[in-house]
A and B are shown apart, each in its own frame.
Chain A
């Protein structure tokens, strides 16, 4: 029974990891950029959420109305002003610039909010649960998972059913020809980053409601997101959700066996899948 419970809780936790991963997957798909600062941007979103809830006295989920557009704006400006200049054949500039960005965000948060762990107060939502047979499911994890499914469905729809998605796919396939067809790739990349950070904002708020956070936790979130992307297979958004779920289940099952093994079990699951299926479970594009 413990294991059934662990698997169910892990599945729901996987929803959060899929949200960490979706933004990473999106920008890699569109512009082949791996953003090392992704985890720190998630934490930044959590802090923005915290400030919004404290300043306006609103519920953290209501704070999304402020944080999502704010992060999208940050994403667009960041892409246009900094990251667009790093894109090219050489992988070193984007890696090192986002690495520098990660250090800057971390220390700026440290300066602004101190190293004390913070948490967002979501009232009754945090402890509410529903009974499902012998299992008790938290409403917040259920809600997180539902949001993850909705976000991924939304991204999928945007990618394959809208003019914006067509622009993303065209630029991803061939930047030069997309330019000839009248697309401004700098603007398209800016929009992709804006969309990715909008998703990141949702992930950050849900993270901040679920657990306490401090400026140093970004690296760990980046790694979870990255593992979910690789397990699921590059460029496959639904695969990313499956990857998140596998990672979440591995962690909760590992924690059931020995509390010290939670994170280790997740990493080992990732390494095993990397050893057995280097391209992930459902690859769509090759790296």
Chain B
């Protein structure tokens, strides 16, 4: 009998999670056949928040770019959907994809400018950028200026025949966005770039000395995240069918809630935003009647988590049970061969 050391990436927990996850995804895809209209709307919103949270987590938790201005891209994506369908006559689905491309493109000069600010000042700089976006779109009178505009009904009708088909499509798009984002983040983190990113997260100085181009890595993450955030933004306003500068560039809706989700769930993990989104919506659905008190409770919970358990709910579970549902790291195991 000899003891061997084996290095593996996956674990039985991850395999079980993968099978369960696949099952859940199949059930969710079938939702238009088993869920009511209101439930589907709520689930669509949950998926879009999950996508936003995963993207913000990649940005802040891995690349160390703590942005409080991602609403800039949510609103930009939303406005691009409206502008491209109304003025260019593009089909909504093409407009959504193009909104992502344009979001990534516009984030390049933005990054070149605000990457000059470091740490916390970067955070407020992103907010200034979001304000510039909001004020600029409020100046576009053909999109309703400060009071906003609605998506014309013929464009909405062009998506699919009948209301339930449109709602199903909108739901699937939201689900698809969440799946694409979580998968993309997972694959990115497993790749060579992801290893560099994790190294930067753990120690910027040490990773620079190992030859990682920190500026370029962060820049890439910022541009990709911004493009995908714009796609999610377009989907959010496809659901709402109405846009205004204040709703599109709301710091509370698109950044504060997203940050709370990630912090409560566990920043710097893929599982964290998923858990956080579930917790956030459970809290919202039970406490929403309390209005402002609910938001104060949310802020308080986020502060307590940050001070007492900075790794969040998932960090606590991971430490306690040594779990990892999305296998990113390698583990050394002793296996007995007989």
Report A's interface with B, CB cutoff 8 A: 33-34, 36, 82, 85-86, 91-97, 99-104, 106-108, 110-111, 219-220, 222-223, 226-227, 230, 260-261, 263-264, 267-268, 270-271, 274-275, 278, 287
Residue of A nearest to B260 (CB): A100
| Residue of B252, B267, B296 most packed against chain A (CB within 10 A) | B296
In the complex, what residues of B have CB within 8 A of residue A101's CB?
299, 303
Q: Within 8 Å of chain A (Cβ to Cβ): is B24?
A: no
In the complex, what residues of A have CB within 8 A of residue B263's CB?
96
Shortest C-beta distance, A38 to chain B (Å), equals 10
Are the C-beta atoms of B128 and A267 separated by less than 8 Å? yes
Query: A101-B299, A107-B292, A111-B293 given as contacts; is B113 within 8 A of A275 (CB)?
Result: yes
Are the C-beta atoms of A36 and B124 separated by less than 8 Å? yes
Complex A-B: 8 CB contacts under 8 Å:
A82-B303, A91-B119, A96-B303, A99-B68, A107-B293, A107-B296, A264-B132, A278-B117
A94 and B307 CA atoms in complex are apart in Å by 9
Are the C-beta atoms of B306 and A100 separated by less than 8 Å? yes
A171 and B170 CA atoms in complex are apart in Å by 56
In the complex, what residues of A have CB within 8 A of residue B66's CB?
91-92, 95
Beta-carbon contacts under 8 Å, B106-147 to A? 113-114, 116-121, 123-125, 127-128, 131-132, 135-136, 138-139
Query: A110-B292, A271-B132 given as contacts; is B299 within 8 A of A104 (CB)?
Result: yes
Query: A86-B307, A96-B302 given as contacts; is B128 within 8 A of A271 (CB)?
Result: yes
- Residue from A34, A86, A268 within 8 A of B132 (CB atoms): A268
Report B's interface with A, CB cutoff 8 A: 60, 66, 68, 113-114, 116-121, 123-125, 127-128, 131-132, 135-136, 138-139, 251-252, 256, 259-260, 263, 267, 292-293, 295-296, 298-300, 302-303, 306-307, 310
A230 and B128 CA atoms in complex are apart in Å by 12
- Residue from A34, A219, A261 within 8 A of B121 (CB atoms): A34
Per DSSP, are chain A's interface residues mostly helix, strand or loop, or mixed? Answer: helix
Shortest C-beta distance, B266 to chain A (Å), equals 13
Are the C-beta atoms of B251 and A219 separated by less than 8 Å? yes
Residue of B nearest to A115 (CB): B292
Contacts A219-B251, A260-B138, A274-B113 given; 18 further ones with Cβ under 8 A?
A36-B124, A85-B307, A92-B267, A95-B123, A96-B303, A100-B300, A101-B303, A103-B295, A103-B298, A110-B292, A220-B131, A223-B131, A226-B124, A267-B128, A267-B131, A271-B128, A275-B116, A287-B118
